């Protein structure tokens, strides 16, 4: 493959994670140091930054400041949820992207995101090829949901998992401090795949976790759930439950909609929005058991708690961004950088592996059912073996006045 010289654009897309910036920084730093790449541009708010010619010059940032990206949560370049139409339907956006690529002599495009972002990469890559514009396109994955196909795991998942397991261990201690009864329901993100909720099992593995864990991979039966909670509560006086926001009944209806229905049947004040799944379940349990019940929604914290990120996740995320640039410069295009798990001297090791964008963009990886326990309300040792290596190591997030010192980019327009 001949050397391709030109500028690169790096963009970020989709929901935040604690380490998406570690990946972006891995790509930016490597690109800045690479001779084939003449200029490193950041697209503000993902592909919209390209469409709007809203690009910043990463070379104008102070290197020491830029390095803080590695430990800064959310997307430092801003994100978007803009979905490109297929070029068969409408070529406008693609033509505009090509125009911008030509304007800045962009020969490398790195897109840092989830499923949709890989789809965007894929479409752009194919359009450039069809139009004879030489450009190498690489996807750098991120998602707390861990649902991308092919790769052993996704950058971002482990840090969220570490935060969830840590928080559940702490909630466990809090929720049993009194000698009176207490039931706690913790709602965890993950609409279709139960990876995040499953990470609560790491707390249980440490003896400080939930009694019951419900993933969206298994049909949820409210009556059976109630009976189990009641039973554990009767035995222990305490019960902690972790539920995925995405649990559904056997007819495919979200349990979170039950509460909305209940409210909607009675009024039109929009009460459906009051409280989520945790509130609904807590309320149902309270009605049934009379116990003191608390519903907790981990909400945004689980995807942005950089202070509790996994060092393994940070380093792997950085490595993914770095590899994307190195592979592209070496001639690769149209691939997503992912991970392959191996062992070295009996220890977990993570290797970079490339995946075809088409496959990644259209598949969703769920928790294997054989990793659940027999009663489908917990995880077995296969999940623990999978997840535990990923959450190892602590962040070395820089602190200032006892608080995180997150990156402050100058964002000099290109």
User: Looking at the annotation, which residues are catalytic?
Assistant: 145
Q: Taking the chain, what is the end-to-end CA distance rounded to the nearest angstrom?
A: 29
> Which is nearer to a copy of itself, 108 or 339 (by Cβ)?
339
Q: How far is the CB of 161 from a copy of itself (least distance, A)?
A: 10
| Closer Cβ to a copy of itself, 186 or 329, answer by number | 186
- Subset of 43-62 contacting a copy of itself (CB under 8 A): 44-45, 48
* Residue from the set 122, 143, 146, 167 that interacts with a copy of itself by CB under 8 A: 167
Sheet of 347-356, strands arranged across: 55-57, 37-43, 6-12, 106-113, 136-141, 335-344, 347-356
Query: How many residues belong to the chain?
Result: 414
- Map the footprint of a copy of itself across residues 302-331, applying CB under 8 A: 303-308, 310, 312
Task: Count Cβ atoms below 10 Å from residue 120 Cβ, excluding itself.
Answer: 28
Closer residue to a copy of itself (CB): 210 or 259: 259
Residue 404 interacting with a copy of itself (CB under 8 A): yes
Touching a copy of itself, residues 260-279 (CB under 8 A): 262-263, 266-267, 269-271, 273-276, 279
Q: How far is the CB of 3 from a copy of itself (least distance, A)?
A: 36
Nearest residue (CB) to a copy of itself, 49 versus 125 = 49
> To the nearest whole angstrom, how small is the minimum distance from the Cβ of residue 60 to a copy of itself?
21
CA distance 309 to 393: 9
Site for a copy of itself in 174-193 (CB under 8 A): 174-179, 184
Query: What mask of x and - would describe binding to a copy of itself in positions 286 to 305, judged by CB under 8 A?
Result: xx------x-xx-xxx-xxx
How does 372-384 read in b/e, with b if 16+ C-beta sit within 10 Å? Answer: beeebbbbeeebb
Q: Print burial letters for 300-333: b (CB count within 10 Å at least 16), e (below 16).
A: eebbbbbebbbbbbbbbbbbbbbbbbbbbbeebb
**Residue 368 tokens, joined:** 């294997």
Q: Is 21 in contact with 65 (CB distance < 8 Å)?
A: no
Beta-carbon contacts of 291 under 8 Å, excluding residues fewer than 6 positions away, are 181, 182, 183, 233, 285
Interface mask (CB under 8 A) for a copy of itself, residues 186-225, using x and -? Answer: ----------------xx--xxx-----------------
Instruction: Please list every residue from 8 through 37 that binds a copy of itself, using CB under 8 A.
Output: 15-16
What are the tokens at 139? Answer: 């996807």
Any contact of residue 347 with a copy of itself (CB under 8 A)? no
Say if residues 162 and 309 touch (Cβ distance below 8 Å). Answer: yes
Find the shortest distance in angstroms from Cβ 128 to a copy of itself: 25
Shortest approach of a copy of itself to residue 47 CB, angstroms? 12
Q: How far is the CB of 48 from a copy of itself (least distance, A)?
A: 7
Locate 283 and state its tokens.
């309320």
Does 146 participate in binding a copy of itself (rule CB under 8 A)?
no
Beta bridge mates, 310: 394
If the CB atoms of residues 184 and 244 are measured against a copy of itself, the closer one turns out to be 184
Other beta carbons within 10 Å of 402: 5
């Amino acid at each position: 493959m001949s050397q391709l010289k030109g500028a690169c654009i790096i963009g970020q897309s989709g929901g935040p994670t604690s380490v998406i910036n570690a990946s972006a920084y891995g790509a930016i730093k490597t690109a800045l140091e690479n001779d084939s790449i003449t200029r490193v541009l950041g697209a503000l708010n993902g592909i919209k930054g390209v469409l709007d010619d809203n690009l910043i010059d990463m070379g104008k940032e102070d290197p020491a400041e830029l390095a803080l990206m590695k430990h800064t949560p959310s997307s430092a370049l801003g994100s978007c949820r803009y979905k490109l139409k297929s070029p068969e339907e409408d070529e406008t956006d693609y033509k505009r992207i090509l125009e911008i690529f030509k304007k800045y002599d962009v020969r490398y495009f790195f897109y840092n995101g989830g499923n949709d972002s890989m789809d965007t990469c894929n479409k752009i890559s194919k359009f450039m090829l069809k139009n004879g514009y030489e450009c190498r396109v690489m996807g750098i994955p991120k998602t707390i949901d861990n649902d991308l196909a092919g790769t052993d795991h996704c950058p971002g998942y482990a840090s969220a998992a570490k935060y969830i397991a840590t928080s559940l261990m702490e909630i466990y201690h809090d929720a049993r401090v009194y000698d009176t009864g207490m039931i706690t329901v913790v709602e965890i993100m993950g609409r279709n795949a139960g990876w995040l909720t499953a990470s609560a099992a790491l707390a249980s593995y440490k003896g400080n976790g939930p009694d019951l864990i419900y993933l969206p991979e298994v049909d949820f039966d409210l009556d059976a759930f109630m009976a189990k909670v009641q039973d554990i509560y009767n035995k222990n006086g305490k019960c902690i439950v972790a539920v995925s926001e995405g649990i559904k009944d056997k007819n495919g209806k979200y349990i979170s909609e039950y509460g909305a229905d209940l409210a909607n049947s009675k009024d039109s004040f929009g009460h459906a929005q009051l409280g989520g799944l945790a509130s609904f379940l807590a309320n149902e349990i309270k009605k049934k058991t009379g116990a003191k019940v608390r519903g907790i929604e981990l909400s945004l914290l689980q995807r942005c708690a950089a202070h509790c990120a996994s060092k393994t996740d940070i380093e792997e995320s950085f490595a993914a961004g770095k590899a994307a640039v190195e592979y592209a410069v070496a001639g690769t295009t149209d691939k997503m950088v992912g991970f392959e798990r191996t062992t070295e001297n009996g220890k977990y090791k993570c290797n970079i592996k490339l995946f075809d964008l088409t496959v990644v963009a259209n598949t969703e990886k769920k928790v294997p059912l054989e990793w659940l326990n027999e009663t489908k309300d917990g995880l077995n040792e296969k999940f623990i073996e999978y997840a535990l290596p990923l959450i190892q190591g602590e962040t070395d997030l820089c602190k200032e006045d006892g608080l995180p010192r997150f990156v402050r980019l100058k964002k000099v327009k290109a």
